[in-house]
Structure 1
Amino acid sequence: MKRTCIIIICLLRIFTTHGQSQKLNSFPLSAVRILNGPFLEAQQTDMKYMLELDPDRLLAPYLREAGIEPQKPTYGNWENTGLDGHTAGHYLSALSNMYAATGDQQILDRLNYMLDWLEKCQHKSGDGYIGGVPGGKAMWKEIAAGKINAGSFSLNDKWVPLYNIHKPFAGLIDAYQLTGSQKAKEILQKYAAWAYQLTAGLTDAQIQEMLRSEHGGMNEVFADVSAITGDSRYLALARKFSHHVILEPLLQKKDVLTGMHANTQIPKVIGFMRVAELSNDKSWEDAAGFFWETVVKNRTVSIGGNSVSEHFNPSEDFSSMMESREGPETCNSYNMLKLTRHLFLAHPAASYIDYYERTLYNHILSSQSPTGGFVYFTPMRPGHYKVYSKPQEGFWCCVGSGLENHGKYGELIYAHNEKDLFVNLFMASKLEWKEKKMSLVQQTTFPEQDHTSLSLKLAKSETFTIHFRYPGWLAKNEMTVKVNGKKQLVEVDSASYISLNRKWKSGDVIDIHLPMHTQAEFLPDGSDYVSFVHGPIVLAASMGTADLAGLKANGDRMAHIANGPLLSVEDAPLMIADRNSIAKGITDENLPMTFKAANMIYQQEYKGLELVPFYKLNETRYMVYWPFTNPENLPALLNARKEKAAAAFALDAITVDKVSTGEQQPESDHGFKGENTWEGVFKDRHFRTGTGWFSYILKNPESKASGIRLTYFGKESDRNFEIYANDVLLETVKLEGNRGDHFYDVTYALPDDRKQLEIVIKLVARPGSSIAAIYELRLLK
């Protein structure tokens, strides 16, 4: 079957088996142990990192807000700039995962310490509330009274407080479900009762207004609370906390995701699926399935990640993906894997696991340095690099989800129904199926070698079926299966699994051969960039370690972005080949998972580059996607690339700081404030406008700024507003709509005194008018 994107192979299988296959159960993390290999190494690295964190500093915001003197000062970075306490919620989940996955007593002791203090905070609060939101108690009282002022990343002038409290909610659920902690359950029940009471007097419309602000998976946690307590009121609350702006289009099978903040939406959809599971709501389940399909099929790159600068780029235009420093966000893949797990267990199909495997190996595994530290953005821009956190300084959202990621590798290697076993992933591991008094050990060095071996130990011989995933990256009739050395006749079913039904006995050994091939994968928009995948493993090339500015991030607000010099697209390796035969140019170097493309690479200096698994490339610049062209188009391409690169570099060279207006994280990073202002998307570009005012704080570290540049749209008219820099009026602007059907830039000179290290830019609407839609703001030198 001809295909351009392996990760979406066999999507139709989902629908041919939908409603026909029996639902599965996952094994508890405690039933699976990861054995030697890259995943065990990553798990151990994660455990070391989480034990380096100081629980008293993570807990400090909770104690402060409860009126208890903190034991130690709070951490910095996101932990003292408004999102105080979010990491502690992730930490509860991470500790719970890691204890279940390893049984390590240090981890359990740390978890119990956290829970003891949260219990004290809850008792002191007196109403069930726990949280680190600065001034949260007063804000929640406003909410309860119906005083709601919501923006995409603020609620009543607080930085996404619902998103913030979602983390301890989820952490308590994990602590109870993964470790059996009754204390966690008791704290959770009181916390949920507080939330229920908080919203009891709000109308559905008021709750929907509140949900304009990023709120994580609050609908999911209320559904979980309902399942844990048996109280149907929380399932009803989960429905109320399901955001209709995203739900309604999905129910109608409409993709309106372009321009949306990506990771705001994914947790909502997990919640839709969780509500569907508990209420048997097929329409909501189908909405979640449609979301998964369109994100995986139309909005995902080869490593399994999605989004640019945290937002869904146009599905028909991935140019920003190739140009931006801010590629796929780790949190997005963390949440997409959660959604995939729910969908697979409801409707078992190998296509879900194909995506799961692809993302696990290539995005999640690569998002942690072998020496410790988590990645926020994984740039796809040719020749760029990733930035890693440090334990005492980086507290981004992707540090929180990163702490969780590497402790739960065992959650979907295997699954089961009442009688049968499903083997989904080829990963060295040991399974204990206590109910059947059976254990299984899977020994493999996959993907270094293309086979795996599974040995069984049973209390007594028993007849049942073992189902093995037939991966989408295998050609037809390529998988071979032997039991005790004897080749088996197998068939692939409609869900792309093969089944062995027999009377199994202790000591039986199953050997599986999984021949891998190198495939070319193009971007979903069909543009002239290509990545290469061997089996499920994305191949990439190291481009060296020059100019890795900020590789290990400090505590600065925007240190998670790789702000070192960009490699010019003109200077990036270029492949010359025909699209239909480009994969044939990848040659095997007779070393495990090592390849070259010397015959296709245009520049002589790059012909020696080696392609290896992307997850092995750390603390280096890299190539995942390669620009390519055929020989006939080469001269025109080189000329166009030169002109575009020159313009981009000229602008980058004079840019001191910039704000991507209307985008959540860039605005938050620049101290956004405003009244009567709102954001939107036009022609796939974000903007901010309003009838009041808004402001940003821009950095001017070398005191060289001389002007600010604003980007407008040419046809916008009847706009009259003022621009201030540090309270000095720079310009009164009137737009007449006479600049054509395109975006354009205007630069305004700053006052002569440029010594300020920070410059506050404020835009104020004139009486009776409004501020123009501002698409970008740059501070220039």
Structure 2
Amino acid sequence: MSWTRRSTLGAGIAFGALPRFTWAAPAATSIATPFSLSQVRLKPSIFLTSVRANARYLLSLDADRLLHNFHAGAGLPTRGKVYGGWESRGIAGHSLGHYMSAVSLIHAQTGDPQFRDRAAYIVGQLKAIQARHGDGYAGGTTVDRDGKTVDGKVVYEELRRGEIRSTGFSLNDGWVPLYTYHKIMAGALDAHQHAGIKDGLTVAIGLGDYLGKILEGLSDTQVQDILRTEHGGLTESYAELYKRTGNRRWLTLSERMRHHAIVDPLQAGRDELAGKHANTQIPKIIGEARLHELTGNADRAKVAQFFWTTVTRDHSYVIGGNSDHEHFGLPRQLAQRLDQQTCEACNSYNMLRLTRHLYSWSGEASYFDFYERAHLNHIMSQQDPKTGMFTYFTALAPGMGRVHSSPTEDFWCCVGSGMESHSKHGESIYWKRGDAVAINLYYASTLNAPEAKLDMDTEFPLGNMVRIAVTNAPKRLALRVPGWCADPLLKVNGKTAGVRDGGYLMLTGLKAGDRIELSLPMPVRVESMPDDAKLVAFVSGPLVLAGDMGPGKGAWDGLDPAIVTDRAEPVLVAAAGLHHYRLGEQGKPGDLTLRPFFAQHENRTAVYFRRFDVAEWPTQEAAWTQASKDRADLAARTIDVIRLGEQQPEVDHAFADSGQSAPVSHVADRSRNVNVGFFEFDLAVAPGPLALQVAYGGRQRDKDFRIMIDSEQLVRERLPGESTSARNVQTYALPTKMTQGKSKIRVRFESDKWQGVEVYTARTMRLKSV
């Protein structure tokens, strides 16, 4: 039997072969385990640059500001002003949990004691906060009660009394309080594990006890009702408490946190993910995986394996990320789900964590084909290494650029998971399996462990040569052969060596002083959308390529790039350097340079390209280029335009609102939501027949709100029609009486209830002459 049975793995990859899912019960104990993060040190590379940028950012943050609500809720003096963005809203506190995890992980990754000191300080403060509460509670969330903002603990005490009001993101009118509670619990557990802070476990036990007593007093039906609201990875955290303490109470609580509405269909082998919020579900499945490891329950393993297979094969884009507007769609229906809100970073953060569990059960190398893809192309694209700031979404629509967080005014969920992702790039390079050491990622690093001491020197993924110096030889060394590499060449001390065993090249008989060289040729290949063979992307070795479409500032007003060729798999023109190519003459409206997507942090990109056959292009070119003519005509007829959600345009147009309209600021094209109340602004007008044109998000349909002009209703809008990824552009004729004799009008969007309609632009324009 092979060391690994790569060819029989019943898990498809969205960007490779698509075998049917076949159930094979995993081993009761792990076959493979990662080396401790503290045993791995990164060498100069894009990964070390990322960790250092993240380290600077983490050190720039003030723990006391992240602790503000925790201190205030416990009646203790606050020591710093609360941060902006999500930290100044009801979900406040989640960032503290991520921060605890991040500083603990980066301490393990680098050995720098100042990060352990940060973790220890926060744990100490949480312990004092718990003591003040007297019941183990510590929380930073807030909620509105009777017109006042109060500590979120009131929600938990209502749950204790059996008062439950649960929706997808609201629990008793609190913004996902259990989600934040999990982040604090997970952060304390990480401080215990990765920074060696014993009180981290004490704090986690206190948190678990407080919530546990509430859950233990409720029926199973009531608990399932609570679980309808996003609750993060509480299943996993309770399982981890059981692992570290041996107290079966925590195991019972973990098992009660199983969300049957999600898990039961997966266990039965049914994909019912369409329409569900993606990152709400992934931590639940990680919990299932952890429970399998602790109990041996094969059904829980089946859930995890089926979910992973389904998401990677049927719901993932070429960069390894998944979801559009944070939600899953119909399986293998991705071509119409390309816009600026694809691929939430939190999703890939959690999918990589799930992948580590599944790999540990089987040692199948193909799990790392996905891991490498998502880590290099999504996670490494998320952070701008110059500033250390993070993206929320990774836009895959042509012409879109990246929008990064600010240091103190955002704190989205993906800022929190980003802090963690870029603290631990060394965590999955080296693995143990019996007497073998497996290298699954070729990231420049050293391993210093009793089993082996290795020094890996490489420019991977920007180079295809890997050199490993052996100081202390393992009994066996397994080198993963990536699925994209057909002809690896392995040498030891200049001589061809290694035996292919499944997805690995195996070396035995190594000794101190040996020099290993591995060559990994990186061919370019074409990958098309599963539902549209003419929508293609290019991958060079492990890296997704993207067209460089210029600086990322301002609105995109160019033509989407296309390819005209009869080749089902278009051939690129090689340019100078590895991973650099051009479209050449097949590119329309012209040639375009392609280079690694992850590294294009500041410019617009094109990842997917529409391919036209040579014979069909003459009939399609006119329609393709008409878009540019339409834009020119619109610009000529425009009198004034406001881009909602952007500071300067809103200032220029005297924007005001009733306090409920938050800008959607984590996407390339910013917007405003129509919420309860109103937002309004000025637009210039001129003589002649005029119209108001509004660009809405295409997915928001069947709504009910009003557009007012100088306090007079223009239209009651309901946005009928089918959901689409394209903008829903509506043009409303302006009655002459609303504009006559005026130089500007006051435009107001108002609603009696929350609508969630994204308004991107509004413009006044001259109507076309008949």
Q: TM-score scaled by structure 2?
A: 0.83
* Equivalent pair of 2:335/2:531 in contact (CA under 8 Å): no
Equivalent residue for 1:471, pick from 470, 479, 482: 482
C-alpha distance 78-755 of structure 1, shift in aligned 2 (>3 A)? farther
Q: Aligned residue for 1:561?
A: none
Report deviation, 1:536. 0.7
- For residues 617-632 of structure 1, the aligned pairs below 5 Å read 617-632=600-615
* Equivalent pair of 2:33/2:360 in contact (CA under 8 Å): yes
Equivalent residue for 2:676, pick from 696, 705, 718: 696
1:498 counterpart letter in structure 2 = L
Q: Aligned residue for 1:439?
A: 453
**Distance in 1 of aligned mates of 2:292 and 2:181:** 23
Q: Aligned residue for 2:579?
A: 593
Equivalent residue for 2:406, pick from 387, 390, 397: 390
Equivalent residue for 2:469, pick from 455, 458, 463: 455
Report deviation, 1:706. 6.6
Report deviation, 1:482. 1.4
**Distance in 1 of aligned mates of 2:471 and 2:18:** 35
Structure 1 residue 524 corresponds to structure 2 residue 530: yes
Structure 1 residue 326 corresponds to structure 2 residue 314: no
Classify the secondary structure of the residue corresponding to 2:284: helix
Deviates more, 1:750-759 or 1:627-636: 750-759
1:541 counterpart letter in structure 2 = G
**Distance in 1 of aligned mates of 2:187 and 2:96:** 8
Classify the secondary structure of the residue corresponding to 1:566: coil
C-alpha distance 710-593 of structure 1, shift in aligned 2 (>3 A)? closer
Report deviation, 1:656. 6.3
Q: TM-score scaled by structure 1?
A: 0.82
* Equivalent pair of 2:680/2:749 in contact (CA under 8 Å): yes
C-alpha distance 513-760 of structure 1, shift in aligned 2 (>3 A)? same
Q: Aligned residue for 2:225?
A: 209
Structure 1 residue 272 corresponds to structure 2 residue 318: no
2:593 counterpart letter in structure 1 = E
Equivalent residue for 1:336, pick from 351, 359, 373: 351
Equivalent residue for 1:175, pick from 191, 201, 213: 191
Q: Aligned residue for 2:651?
A: none
Deviations 1:698-754 (A, max 9, x none): 5434467979999999x99xx9x996979x99699999xxx9999998979999799
Deviations 1:266-300 (A, max 9, x none): 11111121122211121121111111111111111
C-alpha distance 86-625 of structure 1, shift in aligned 2 (>3 A)? same
Q: Aligned residue for 1:762?
A: 752
Report deviation, 1:217. 1.2
C-alpha distance 10-226 of structure 1, shift in aligned 2 (>3 A)? farther
Percent identical residues: 34
**Distance in 1 of aligned mates of 2:130 and 2:614:** 68
* Equivalent pair of 1:480/1:487 in contact (CA under 8 Å): yes
Structure 1 residue 242 corresponds to structure 2 residue 258: yes
**Distance in 2 of aligned mates of 1:275 and 1:498:** 32
Classify the secondary structure of the residue corresponding to 2:539: strand
**Distance in 1 of aligned mates of 2:698 and 2:58:** 46
Report deviation, 1:64. 1.2
4+ runs deviating over 6 angstroms: 643-659, 704-713, 721-726, 731-735, 739-758, 773-779
Equivalent residue for 2:521, pick from 506, 511, 515: 515
**Distance in 1 of aligned mates of 2:693 and 2:16:** 51
Report deviation, 1:589. 2.2
Classify the secondary structure of the residue corresponding to 2:598: helix
* Equivalent pair of 2:71/2:78 in contact (CA under 8 Å): yes
1:486 counterpart letter in structure 2 = K
Deviates more, 1:537-546 or 1:78-87: 537-546
Classify the secondary structure of the residue corresponding to 1:378: coil
**Distance in 2 of aligned mates of 1:183 and 1:742:** 50
Q: 5+ unaligned residues in a row in structure 2: which ranges? A: 1-6, 143-150, 646-657, 663-672, 685-690, 764-770
C-alpha distance 278-51 of structure 1, shift in aligned 2 (>3 A)? same
1:696 counterpart letter in structure 2 = V
C-alpha distance 579-506 of structure 1, shift in aligned 2 (>3 A)? same
- For residues 226-265 of structure 1, the aligned pairs below 5 Å read 226-265=242-281
**Distance in 2 of aligned mates of 1:350 and 1:269:** 21
- For residues 23-102 of structure 1, the aligned pairs below 5 Å read 23-102=31-110
**Distance in 2 of aligned mates of 1:106 and 1:121:** 23
Q: Aligned residue for 2:669?
A: none
**Distance in 2 of aligned mates of 1:129 and 1:100:** 28
Deviations 1:238-271 (A, max 9, x none): 2221212211211121112122111111111111
Aligned length: 702
Q: Aligned residue for 1:499?
A: 506
Q: Aligned residue for 2:379?
A: 364
* Equivalent pair of 2:23/2:302 in contact (CA under 8 Å): no
1:596 counterpart letter in structure 2 = R
Report deviation, 1:52. 0.8
Equivalent residue for 2:597, pick from 577, 591, 614: 614
**Distance in 2 of aligned mates of 1:391 and 1:321:** 30
Q: Aligned residue for 2:325?
A: 309
Q: Aligned residue for 2:588?
A: 602
**Distance in 2 of aligned mates of 1:427 and 1:40:** 10
Q: CA RMSD in A?
A: 3.7
Classify the secondary structure of the residue corresponding to 2:48: helix
Report deviation, 1:590. 3.9
Q: Aligned residue for 1:682?
A: none
Deviations 1:107-161 (A, max 9, x none): 1121112112111111111110111011212111101111111111111111111
1:114 counterpart letter in structure 2 = I
